[in-house]
Structure 1
C-alpha cells in the first residue's frame, strides 16, 4: 500500500531477535498453536499461524494489535512489549510525533484519499471506539467510498483508476495487505455480523483479484500466498453476504474461491470453500447439495493435517442429513465430528478456523436436532453453546441465544424462550445480522399464541419495536 510502502522505507524491518529467543526450540507452527491455546485461556480469539510468527520475527509486525498484546503478556508474565522486541504503540502509529507536531503548531498535510472510517463509528473519522483502536489496518481496509480506486487505496495496492498496470510487480506489501484485510473482516464479523460490513468488504476483494489478473511475482511463494489470500478474502466476503441474507451473492463468492483454490492447487482453501458452500446450501434448503459438498470437502481435507477441519466438515454433512430428515446419517456424521474434535487442535489447523471451538460444536449440533424436530435436545445444546461462548464475541453470542430462543419456543417453554429472546434483543444494537433477525422473527411468530405466558407479551412488544426501528433505519 502507498502508506505501508512509505512506512517500510521510513522504518525498514529489523528482525525481532527477542521474540525469536522466546520461541526457543519450537517450530513456528508449534509456537502458533501455543499462542492460540494461551488466547483461549484468557477468553481471546486470535488467528495465529506459522506465517504470523514469521512476520513477527522478521520485524514486519512492529507492534501487535491489542488482542495479541494481551495474549503475549499472558504467555510471558512480567515482560513488557518492549521486552518482547516490539516497538511502543504510540511510536508505530505516530501519535507521539503527531502530538509533538501539533503542540508546536505544525499542520499535518492533507491526505490524497478520503479519511477512512470505522464502519460502526457513525461516520466519525476520529472515533476512539474499541473497534477503531483494534488496528490501523482496519481503517485502511474499510473506506466509506465505494469506488474501486479507494478500495485499492484501502489495501494499499495503488491501483489508480481501478485497474492494475500491466506487469505490476506484486510483493510482500501487497500480499500482506490482502491477508490483513481478511483478518480485519473476520474480527469485525465476530463482533457485529455481516449486514453493515458486506458492501465495504467487497472493495478490497476487487483489488485483490485485480492483482491476480494483472500482477507478476518473482517467487512462487508470493503467488501462492496471493491466491490463498484472495480466495480467503472471497470466502470472508461471501460469508458476510450469507449472514446478511444475500444468498446469490454468497454463492458467487464461494464459487470464486473454489475456482481460485483449484487454479492454485490449494487443498486447504478448497476444503474451506466446500465447507462454506455446504453451509449455504443447507441454509437455502438444498440439503442434498449440502451433503455432497461437505463430502467433497472431506475428501480434499484429507490432504490437510487438521482433525478440527474434518470435524467441521462432518458437522456440515450432518446438517444436510438432518435437513433431509435422515436421522441415521445425521447421527453417524455427528459421531465422526466428535471423534475428530476430540483429537484437539493441530499446528496445521487453518487460520480461519479460530472460531471453531466447543461453543460452535454445540451450536451446530443444536441446529441438527432442531431440523430433525427434537427441540428439547436442540435447546440443551443451544444452551450449552450460549453458556460457553465468550461474551466479547457478540455476534456468535447473539446467534446462539437466538437459536436457544427458537428451540425453547418449539419445545413448549414459551417463558424461557421469551427470556432468551430478550437477551438477543439487548445485543442487536451492536450486531447487524439478517440471519439472527430472521430467527428472532420466527420465534416471535411461534410465541404469538402464548402471549399470556410469563414474559412473552413484553418480548413480543419489544421485538415489534425493534423491528420498526430497523425498518426506519
Structure 2
C-alpha cells in the first residue's frame, strides 16, 4: 500500500493540512449538493496513505472541486465506470452555484475566453484596489468586489477557456474575494470577512496557485486576530510559514514570521514573539534585492515597520513602536490615504501610552483629518477611540486634552 505522493505534494503546494482539506471538501459538497459533507481528517488520511486508491461518489466530486482537476491527476486510479447517479446532479449544481446562471442561459456553443477578457476583469480589480487604498473598508467596495468575483466566475460557465486562462480567472476571482474580505476586516466585520474567505479558499484551490492560497491564509489570520482568537491566528501564521511559496521566497517567509510574532505577543509569549520577529527581519533582509510583484508588493519596508510597531505595542514597548511608525509614515506615498490615517492613529495611541497626552491629541486630530468623507476604515476610528480611553484614564484636566476628548467622541 503506497502513499499518495501526488496528493501530498498538491496539498503542500496549497498549504493545506488534513483538517483544512476535509473542511474544504465539506464546503464544496455543501455548495454542490445542498447538504453538508461528512469528510473527516481520517478520510483525508486514508486518501494520503493509500488506503483509498479510487475515491468514488461524493469524495471524488469534492476532491475534483477543491483541486480543479480529475482525481486521476491527483495520483488516484480513475473511476472504473461512469460516475454514480448523483454525480451529474452534483456537477450541474456546482455549475449553477458557481456561476449564478440558469441552465437555459448556457450557450450551446461555448464562447472562447482569452487573455483580453482576463485583462478586462483585472483592470476592474485594479480600480477597486485604488479605491480601497484611499477609502478603506466601505460596503460599496466590498459589494463591488463580490459582484466582480461573481462575474469573473460566471464568464467560465461555458467552459470555453484554456487551462491557463481558467486558472488565471479563478486566481483573480479569489483575489477579488480577498479584497472584499479585507474591506470587511477594515470595517471591523470579521464574521463577514470569514464568509468571504471561505469562498476564496475554494477559488484558490481551483486556481491551483500557492501564492493565491497564501493570501487567503494571511487574511484568515487577520480575521482570527480581529475576533481575539489569537491561538487560531498563530496557527494560521504557521500554515503561511510552512507553505511552498514561503519556502521558495523569503518575502513570503518574512510576512509569515511577522504575523506569527504579532499573534504570539498577544498570547503573552514575549520570547517566542521576539524570536519570530527576528526571523521576519532576517528573511525580509534577504528579499531586499528582489522586486516583488502582485499582492505581496504591499509588504514594503514601510509596511514592515508598521507591522513591527504592532508587535512592540502588544509587548508594551511603546517607544519602539513609535519609532517604527515614524519611519512608516515618512516612507508611505501620499496616495495611500487609508494607511496613512491608520498608522497616524496608531502613532497617537503609542504617544498616549507614553504619557505624551497633548502630543497624542494633536496626532489623533491629524489622523482623523486625513480620512476622506466616504472612508469606511473602522480600524482607524477604533484606534482613535482606544487613544481617547487611555487619555481619559489619566484624569488630565489640560484644556487641549479635554477639548480633544469631546471632539473625538463625535468621530468614533
2:352 aligns to what? Answer: 409
Where does residue 14 of structure 2 map in the other structure? none
CA deviations on 1:188-245 (whole Å, 9 max, x unpaired) are: 1111111252223221122123334x24134211111111111111111111111112
In the TM superposition, 1:50-89 aligns within 5 A as none
Q: Does 1:207 align with 2:148?
A: no
Query: Counterparts in 2 of 1:389-428, with a 5 A limit?
Result: 389-428=332-371
Partner of 2:34: none
Using the TM superposition, name which of 393-402 and 249-258 deviates more: 249-258
Q: d(CA) in 1 for partners of 2:123 and 2:285?
A: 31
Matched-pair contact (CA < 8 Å) for 2:305–2:327: yes
Q: How many residues align?
A: 309
C-alpha displacement of 1:421: 0.2
Look up the match of 2:224: 281
| 1:323 and 2:293 correspond | no
| Rounded Cα–Cα distance in structure 1 between residues aligned with 2:283 and 2:175 | 24
Structure 2 residue 408 is the aligned partner of structure 1 residue 463? yes
Q: CA deviation at 1:420?
A: 1.0
Q: Which residue of 1 aligns with 2:183?
A: 240
How far 1:405 moved relative to its partner? 1.0
CA-atom RMSD, angstroms? Answer: 2.5
The equivalent of 1:374 in structure 2 is: 317
**Cα–Cα, structure 1 residues 161 and 204, in superposed 2: closer, same or farther, change >3 Å?**
farther
Distance of aligned partners of 1:459 and 1:367 in 2 relative to their CA distance in 1, 3 Å threshold: same
CA distance, structure 1, for counterparts of residue 216 and residue 185 of structure 2: 13
Give the TM-score normalised by the residue count of structure 2: 0.69
Query: Which of 361, 379, 385 is the matching residue for 1:435?
Result: 379
Alignment match of 2:327 (pick from 370, 377, 384): 384
Does structure 1 residue 165 correspond to structure 2 residue 165?
no
Q: Which residue of 2 aligns with 1:341?
A: 284
Q: Which residue, 252, 255, 272 being the options, matches 1:309?
A: 252
Q: CA deviation at 1:332?
A: 1.2
Pair 163,173 (structure 1): closer, same or farther in 2 beyond 3 Å = farther
Per the TM alignment, residue 163 of structure 1 is displaced from its structure 2 partner at its CA by: 9.5
Gaps of 5+ in 2: 1-98
Aligned equivalent of 2:169 = 226
Structure 1 residue 168: deviation in Å?
Answer: 4.8
Task: Answer yes or no: is the 8 Å Cα contact 1:306–1:346 preserved in 2.
Answer: no
Q: Which moves more between the two structures, 186-195 or 448-457?
A: 448-457
- The match for 1:266 is 209
What SS is found at the alignment partner of 2:181? helix
Q: 2:137 maps to which residue?
A: 194
Confirm or deny: 8 A CA contact 1:159 1:165 kept in the other structure.
Answer: no
Task: For residues 58-82 of structure 1, give each alpha carbon's deviation from its aligned partner in whole angstroms, at most 9, with x where no partner exists.
Answer: xxxxxxxxxxxxxxxxxxxxxxxxx
TM-score for both structures, normalised by structure 1 = 0.61
- Of Structure 1 and Structure 2, which has the larger fraction of its residues in helix? 2
In structure 2, relative to structure 1, the CA distance for the partners of 1:263 and 1:189 (3 Å cut) is same
